Amino acid sequence: MDAAAITKALRRIAHEIIERNPDIRSVILAGIPSRGVEIARRIADFVRQIDKIDIDTGVIDVAMHRDDVGTRRELPVVRESNLPLPLEGRTVIIVDDVLFTGRTVRAAMDAIGSFGRPARIQLAALIDRGHRELPIRADYVGKNLPTALEQDVQVRLEQIDGEEGVWIK
Amino acid sequence: MNERWTRKDLLGLRELSIDEINFILETADAFKQVGAREIKKVPALRGKTLVNFFVEPSTRTRTSFELAAFRLSADVINITASGSSLTKGETLKDTAKNLEALHADILVLRHSSAGAPQFLAERLKSSVINAGDGAHEHPTQGLLDAYTIREKRGKIDNLHVVIIGDILFSRVARSNIFCLTKLGARVTLVGPSTLVPRDFEKLGVTVSHKIDNVLPDADVVNLLRIQHERQRKEYFPGTGEYTRLFGLTKARAKMLKPDCLVMHPGPINRGVEIDSEVADGSRSVILDQVTNGLAVRMAVLYLCGGIAT
């Protein structure tokens, strides 16, 4: 997947979000660091272009809600979560780069629950690579990418990685 | 910056790298935010058991660790010296081995002997967090002081931090010195020559015995409590004389820059090392230190307790 294909996919997701959410002003795009945050920003840009509306964005870090604490020999840095409050009556769309086992999304839902009780939670992912370990599916998918379990899917974004594209290794 | 944490213990700040200190401070940013949530609790250490083992009395540090553990969903038991078998002649190692046999995952230790946390860390699989050992180190206090300076001033590099008081007996001073000099601050120690010997200059700091020469140039003033319980007559000039020579009085506070921070690890002796007007004044960040202490301790417990051992 190259830069043009990523742009096209995210623009389509923006259209789908507008279509599925008649009350688009109630939507919060909550990115999972670090690439989910950048993807959420881009989707918000497209929504602004299409509908002339600024929708809220936020950051939801899942590290402290993961279920594998105590099993790793090294820990990554935890980022600060930041959501516009209150969440009551809002639609929070979790945004991530790759949807895989679903465990990160479960942790994100748990984290959102500690900020309040949104009306609904939806899920957008640039890539869905399959191999779910939990009953979770995405509402918006940029591209379905069938992979083998041992393969590694890498999303690279200009603002974070200095290059743009999706690679399977 | 190194983006990984790999230590099971926090024994002191002297042995930490600059990257590791910054890693803890950044992790604390994330945990400080948890305090602003509707539900101020995350499942990070669910199922873990933390033992607060305080052989020396302390209310504020112990409750701060306890609350930090609660907010991380860990289970906590508190053991104090008077209530433990140490008074019945059991050795420190035997007590700790017994705690480990109960599957304690994290041991927070306050002890009057320097090196006690290291002694246990080398012998136990559990994480050991030093909550103050003798006159050696009090790493979470050093970290929360650095965190507060960084939060209020936006940086630490190139700031002039003045630490006033009983440096010789102070583990808080040592942890502050190691942490702040690593992060690029200029540190000056002030106090009577009996309590602030010139030897400290070997740690890369300046020593002064004249507070009035130092205050006008300070970006941060950190006042240490006069530890009456550790003082011996020959070291200490007496409370009245100390206040006259080294107390941050209302009159002296006028010499400070408008944006100078006034800090104190508590508990404060009002009218001895600091006047009430200054402790409660606009420059004081003493209560911010308490709030930040919680975030820093959550970060330390999460990092050391969340590692596979």
Which percentage of chain B shows pLDDT scores above 90?
Answer: 76
Tell me what the mean pLDDT of segment A97-115 comes to. Answer: 96
Residue B96, burial from CB neighbour count under 10 angstroms (0-12, 13-18, 19+): buried
Residue A4, burial from CB neighbour count under 10 angstroms (0-12, 13-18, 19+): exposed
pLDDT of B232 strictly over 70: no
Tell me what the mean pLDDT of segment B211-222 comes to. Answer: 97
- Asked if residues B181 and B18 have their Cβ atoms less than 8 Å apart, the reply is no
Whether the CB of A110 is below 8 Å from some CB of chain B: the reply is yes
Cis peptide leading into residue A34 (ω within 30°) = yes
Comparing A117 with B1, which gets the higher pLDDT? Answer: A117
CA B283, CA B124: separation in Å to the nearest integer? 43
**Number of Cα atoms under 13 Å in the Cβ half of residue B206:** 14
Using one digit for the tens of pLDDT, what is the confidence trace for B2-38?
Answer: 568 999 999 999 999 999 999 999 999 999 999 989 9
Question: What is the residue extent of each domain of chain A?
Answer: 3-168
Does the beta-carbon distance from A110 to B43 stay under 8 Å? yes
Residues in chain B: 309
Predicted complex ipTM:
0.83
Contacts of B104 in chain A (CB under 8 A): none
Q: What's the confidence (pLDDT) of residue A72?
A: 79
Q: What is the mean pLDDT of chain A?
A: 95
Helices marked H in chain B — which ranges?
18-34, 60-71, 92-101, 116-121, 139-153, 171-182, 211-214, 239-246, 250-253, 276-279, 286-305
Does the beta-carbon distance from A74 to B43 stay under 8 Å? no
- Strands B49-54, A91-99: parallel, antiparallel or unpaired by DSSP? unpaired
Cβ neighbours for B55, distance < 8 A, ≥ 6 positions apart: B80, B81, B84, B86, B92, B109, B110, B111, B112, B116
Helix (H) / strand (E) element for B79: namely strand B75-80
Q: How confident is the model at residue B161 (pLDDT cuts 50, 70, 90)?
A: very high
Using one digit for the tens of pLDDT, what is the confidence trace for A47-93?
Answer: 999 999 999 999 999 999 987 777 778 887 889 999 999 999 999 99
Whether the CB of A76 is below 8 Å from some CB of chain B: the reply is yes
pLDDT of B300 strictly over 90: yes
- Domain A3-168 maps to which CATH number in 3.40.50.2020, 3.40.50.720, 2.170.150.20, 3.40.50.10490? 3.40.50.2020
Q: What's the confidence (pLDDT) of residue B239?
A: 81
CA B9, CA B107: separation in Å to the nearest integer? 9
Q: For B110, phi and psi rounded to 5 degrees?
A: -115, 125
The count of CB pairs under 8 A between chains A and B is 82
Using one digit for the tens of pLDDT, what is the confidence trace for A131-142?
Answer: 999 999 999 999
Using one digit for the tens of pLDDT, what is the confidence trace for B69-92?
Answer: 999 999 999 987 766 666 666 788
Does the beta-carbon distance from B303 to A75 stay under 8 Å? yes
With an 8 Å Cβ cutoff, the interface of chain B facing chain A consists of 3-6, 23, 26-27, 29-34, 37-48, 72, 105, 299, 302-303, 305-308
- Asked if residues B190 and B221 have their Cβ atoms less than 8 Å apart, the reply is no
Question: Burial letters for B35-59: b for 16+ Cβ neighbours within 10 Å, e otherwise?
Answer: eebeeeebbbbeebbbbbbbbbebe
Q: How confident is the model at residue B1 (pLDDT cuts 50, 70, 90)?
A: low
Q: What's the confidence (pLDDT) of residue B92?
A: 82
